[in-house]
Amino acid sequence: MLEITFKDVGQGDSIVLEWGPGDSIKHIGIIDCNRNNDNPVLKFIQDKKPESIEFLILSHPHYDHFSGMLELIDYCYSQNVKINYFLQTCTHFTSDFIRAALKTTVSEKAYLDLMRYVNDRYAANGTKVGLIQADLNFNIELFGKGVISFLSPTYGDVLKYIKKEKYNVHEEDVHNNPLANILSTICRIDTEEGYVLLTADTSKKQLERLKLGGELILCQSPHHGSGYNHSSSFWSRVVRKKKTPVVFSVGTNKYGHPAQKAVESFLKNEYDLHSTNEVGWLSKATKPSSKPNPLDVISKKVKAKLKSKTSGDQKFSFNI
């Protein structure tokens, strides 16, 4: 059994994986940890009281993906909860490298504090610290047929980031530089039923280069449902069943996430929409409009179906 929970952390990402043989849940892995008004992932760990966490992954160095991570790691170390692996896409900690990802002194300090904390304590606590890079073919074995593989970023993406290649998406909060989205991790999780695709803030180009075998059973809309990161051609050609769930990890924001383009495209291609908050175009698409709207025909039906799917944690279970 594999359970994947997209935590409601506002405008940011936090994903919890739990797995074990049969119906038992014995292992925990975490991808990103955002702190909004509170720290939902930390509370989850405090409630579960596990002896260890198999892995903690930072998908890319953006504040809304790591703002609660230091607090989580500090708690785990203080309570002797072992973190077996800490993995991220960054290995260069020069000031220029960090400034290319983050824009404020608050976010830069938070990232440096996190890295110093991990580097100072990893040996004493037995944590293995590693690099996520698609070209290295590093996989994480779960149980049975459950395997996590990393499809992005490649070494070429890292070079683009270092060279400060132009990146035109400006839908980032005050803490983040959009350029770091080039470093976003794409995780593929294979199960007995098919595969899951977790995309963080990956770009359209990174998605479109993927060649995926197998059947998609669950996916995440990149960058909180941003229209700039959405590729209609990619999501329409992916082999899947009708009503495959797609999740928007999103909170209140000024960018209109999830965007009209992304929401309408997923509806047109018959995905089953889920969201941690009903904001952006998702909110508009599920409410009747007085003006002609291409979604009016299905808006009432969608609204009824989405009520429990567009607010709070979104949880899914699969056989592995």
Q: What are the pLDDT digits (tens) for 143-169?
A: 888 999 999 999 899 888 888 777 767
Kindly indicate the confidence band of residue 121, based on its pLDDT and cuts at 50, 70 and 90: confident
pLDDT beyond 80 at 90:
no
Cis check: omega of the bond before 153, within 30 degrees of 0? yes
Mean pLDDT of 240-268: 95
Residue 291: what pLDDT? 46
Domain at 2-318: CATH code: 3.60.15.10
Asked if 128 contacts 199 with a C-beta cutoff of 8 angstroms, the reply is no
Interatomic CA distance for residues 110 and 104, integer angstroms = 10
CB-based contacts of 45: which residues, under 8 Å, 6+ apart? 28, 53, 72, 75, 76, 81
Interatomic CA distance for residues 150 and 145, integer angstroms = 16
Question: How many other C-beta atoms can be found within 10 angstroms of the C-beta atom of residue 36?
Answer: 18
**What are the pLDDT digits (tens) for 223-234?**
999 999 999 999
Mean pLDDT of 178-204: 95
Kindly indicate the confidence band of residue 266, based on its pLDDT and cuts at 50, 70 and 90: very high
Residue given tokens 């960018």 in the structure block: 255
Percent of the chain scored above 70 by pLDDT?
Answer: 91
Residue 296: what pLDDT? 44
